[in-house]
Amino acid sequence: MSQTMRESKPYAVTSVSSRGREHSEHFPRNVDPYAIDRQRVLHSAAFRRLEYKTQVFVISEHDHFRTRMTHTLEVASVARRLCVALQVNGAVGELIALTHDLGHPPFGHAGEVTLAELMVHHGGFEHNAQSLRVVEYLEHPYPAFRGLNMTHEVRESLAKHCTLYDSPGSHPLADGTQAPIEGQIANLADRIAYDCHDLEDAIGAGLLEEADLCEVDLWTNAAEPVRKAHAHLSLAAVRRPILDRLEAKLLGDVVAEARRRIAAVKVASIDDVRNCGQPVVAFSPDMEPRIAGLESFLLERVYRHHRLIRMDDKARRFITELFNAYVVERGMLPPRFHRRIDDQGLHRVICDYIAGMTDRFCQDEYKRLFEPFERM
């Protein structure tokens, strides 16, 4: 029997145990509710815009760096693998991964930090919270309700991974309990995917040499057998097999640790997962400091590289100046955003508008508003 055919564990999310949708809708019988959710995410404007949003490296510089879209697809793939290994619902893990960055603003982390600063006295900004806002409110493809009316388990997973909702009561779905296991898996899959692909893109961008990478023990361990077999090849020629080994190591660690935790606390149902008091999906205590070492290496050598700081600073100025210009003259907002101001507040509406922009749209809008000879 193939691995995908193995029976699911009793704590997996299933359509039978789903808490359903906020607005009742009629679907043909035997249609999997998570397949409907997946289709709604793929059809959303927010999903299509991920293609033109920066992950780490500005997308206009090279066509082969990760974008927010290809990052999302890699997270979905890692989530699916973890779900299969842990015998839980791979379709749900993948769906949460496809949804997790829908609210990410343009220009990557710099965009998020800038909006958070601009919104500090107006309810804050955090991209996980914004992803939930996209699926609950901002997308509006059906006249009967706002949002995508997604299943409870997807919205719950987004709410429970959001620092803005850490204080109880700030979102009804963030009640202090844990996310379903598929949501926890998507969260770890995000981390595994970006740790590996940011290394690959940084090597591709010429930011890292092999000597730099030898500071990271996870890299050195993964590279050793590959380098033994291919001593004379360039780093570019061997980075993929090394990263495959690194990724497999991280996946194996998460699977073993999750199995250990599930057995230790005798998890037997989805509510046991919710009420466990801590995530069941996590890196092992041995792996956590090694991952932290890799991530602080990425922070120092990649995210704080002078080429990236120059880009971040430019993005900060774009976004801040656009934001302030709309605050001064709200009449410049498109009518569908302008109409929401009474209900949502000016700053929130501006934040929603900018968070939804692609890098390209944001740059074009800046030119239209601030360059005197640009057409409006």
CB of 113 to Mg ion, least distance (A): 15
Amino acid at 191: R
The Cα 239–Cα 212 span in angstroms is: 14
Closest CA to 101 of 136, 135, 139: 135
| Axis-axis angle for helices 346-356, 306-328 (nearest 10) | 140
Helices and strands (H and E) in the chain: how many:
18, 0
| Nearer of residues 243 and 350 to Mg ion, judged by Cβ | 243
| Nearer of residues 148 and 158 to Mg ion, judged by Cβ | 158
CB of 269 to Mg ion, least distance (A): 29
| Residue whose tokens read 């730099």 | 212
By CB under 5 A, which span of 4-12, 185-193, 254-262, 340-348 interacts with Mg ion?
185-193
Q: How many residues bind Mg ion (CB under 5 A)?
A: 2
The Cα 374–Cα 126 span in angstroms is: 33
| Nearer of residues 126 and 190 to Mg ion, judged by Cβ | 190
101 binds Mg ion (CB under 5 A): yes
Are 16 and 30 contacting, i.e. CB atoms less than 8 angstroms apart? Answer: no
Record the tokens describing residue 66, joined without a space.
């990760």
The Cα 112–Cα 177 span in angstroms is: 26
By CB under 5 A, which span of 99-107, 111-119, 173-181, 356-364 interacts with Mg ion?
99-107
Closest CA to 269 of 7, 88, 10, 8: 10
CB of 100 to Mg ion, least distance (A): 6
| Residue whose tokens read 């709309």 | 326
CB of 254 to Mg ion, least distance (A): 16
By CB under 5 A, which span of 96-104, 291-299, 307-315, 365-373 interacts with Mg ion?
96-104
CB of 190 to Mg ion, least distance (A): 4
CB of 197 to Mg ion, least distance (A): 10
| Nearer of residues 67 and 89 to Mg ion, judged by Cβ | 67
195 binds Mg ion (CB under 5 A): no
By CB under 5 A, which span of 3-11, 184-192, 216-224, 236-244 interacts with Mg ion?
184-192
The Cα 322–Cα 222 span in angstroms is: 45
By CB under 5 A, which span of 90-98, 188-196, 225-233, 293-301 interacts with Mg ion?
188-196
Closest CA to 163 of 155, 171, 154: 171
CB of 339 to Mg ion, least distance (A): 31
CB of 59 to Mg ion, least distance (A): 15
What torsion, rounded to 10 degrees, do the Cα atoms 79, 81, 84, 86 define? -70
- For residue 208, how many other CB atoms are within 10 A of its CB? 23
By CB under 5 A, which span of 26-34, 186-194, 228-236, 238-246 interacts with Mg ion?
186-194
Task: Return the residue of 190, 201, 257, 365 that touches Mg ion, per CB under 5 A.
Answer: 190
Interacting residues toward Mg ion by CB under 5 A: 101, 190
